[in-house]
Amino acid sequence: MLTYSINIKLIKQKRLEHKYTLQEMSEVLGLANRSLYLKRENGYQKFKANELPLLSKKLGIPLNDFFVPNVEKSSKGER
């Protein structure tokens, strides 16, 4: 089964390229403080579905670029 993850490395890279602060990004997402945004960007919490379009607009990243396929190893021991 093919699953996808959010490319948090891309999100952080684009934030730094645009020189946006953690506080600016937390305000865009409507979060109470920057530490809540930082937890998402570092992968400790997941970005919510309604936050992705806001990130897309702010960072100038097409929404589809946020998603990367997960590579899963076969549990049957196949090579």
Residue in 37, 32, 8 with CA at minimum distance from that of residue 20: 37
Q: What angle do CA 23, 24, 29 make, to 5 degrees?
A: 95
**75 pLDDT higher than 80:** no
Q: In this predicted model, what pLDDT tens digit does every residue of 1-18 receive, in sequence order?
A: 789 999 999 999 999 999
By percentage, how much of the chain surpasses pLDDT 70?
Answer: 90
Phi-psi region of 17 (alpha: psi -120 to 50; beta: other; left: phi over 0): alpha
Three-state DSSP class for 63? helix
H or E stretch covering 6: strand 4-6
Report the residue count for the chain: 79
